[in-house]
């Protein structure tokens, strides 16, 4: 009996490693895509905050150091100090993949819907695919809204949000529920 419990724990830890692996890959990609552009810095700030927050509440928890390593950690702290100040005391504004999507919209241009969707699909299927079926930090649905069908009409993009496990699910629910409904989120 003890051996099967040990095996389950080891398997659980392997599935959780996908979180750390995807977090590292996403941060690296966002840094590459930023390419020094000042208007993209806020997306990198936001994604680092979001990933570090999710790492903190993950089971098992991941520290920023365990996600990115010592060398990258030093560079990130220097270039993006705000996420380090707030990831353990403030909720992120949105999930990491929403930041990835916004970066892709900036890179491709909001009118290039097919390129944006294909780039996000490629990212999920090529960069963030693991043998494990769980795809941590990845959205499964992309939504595009447009006021009219004219080609020059502005498109608005969104991605789905999901989580697994009780603590993350409760935190997401508390973030989304209106507080006036008397919902206790302590």
Domain ranges of the chain: 2-181
Q: How confident is the model at residue 52 (pLDDT cuts 50, 70, 90)?
A: very high
Give the closest residue to 98 by CA, choosing from 148, 156, 59.
Answer: 156
Burial of 52 (0-12, 13-18, 19+ CB in 10 A): buried
Rounded to 10 deg, the angle between the 113-122 and 96-108 helix axes is 130
| Local structure of residue 131 (DSSP, 8 states) | S
Q: How confident is the model at residue 184 (pLDDT cuts 50, 70, 90)?
A: low
Average pLDDT of the chain to the nearest whole number: 81
Q: How confident is the model at residue 171 (pLDDT cuts 50, 70, 90)?
A: low
pLDDT of residue 156: 86
* Whether the predicted pLDDT of 11 surpasses 60: yes
């Amino acid at each position: 009996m003890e051996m099967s419990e040990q095996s389950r724990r080891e398997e659980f830890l392997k599935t959780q490693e996908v979180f750390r692996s995807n977090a590292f890959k996403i941060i690296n990609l966002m840094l590459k895509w930023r390419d020094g552009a000042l208007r993209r810095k806020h997306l990198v700030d936001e994604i680092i905050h979001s990933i570090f927050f999710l790492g903190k509440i993950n089971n098992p928890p991941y520290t920023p150091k365990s996600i990115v390593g010592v060398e990258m950690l030093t560079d990130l702290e220097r270039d993006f100090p705000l996420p380090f100040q707030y990831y353990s005391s403030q909720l992120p504004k949105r999930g990491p993949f929403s930041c990835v999507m916004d970066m892709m919209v900036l890179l491709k241009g909001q009118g290039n819907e097919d390129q944006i969707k294909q780039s996000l699909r490629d990212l999920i299927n090529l960069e963030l695919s693991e043998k494990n079926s769980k795809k941590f930090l990845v959205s499964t649905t992309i939504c595009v809204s447009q006021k009219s069908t004219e080609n020059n009409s502005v498109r608005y993009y969104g991605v789905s949000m999901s989580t697994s496990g009780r603590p993350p699910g409760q935190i997401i629910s508390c973030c989304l529920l209106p507080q006036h409904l008397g919902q206790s989120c302590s």
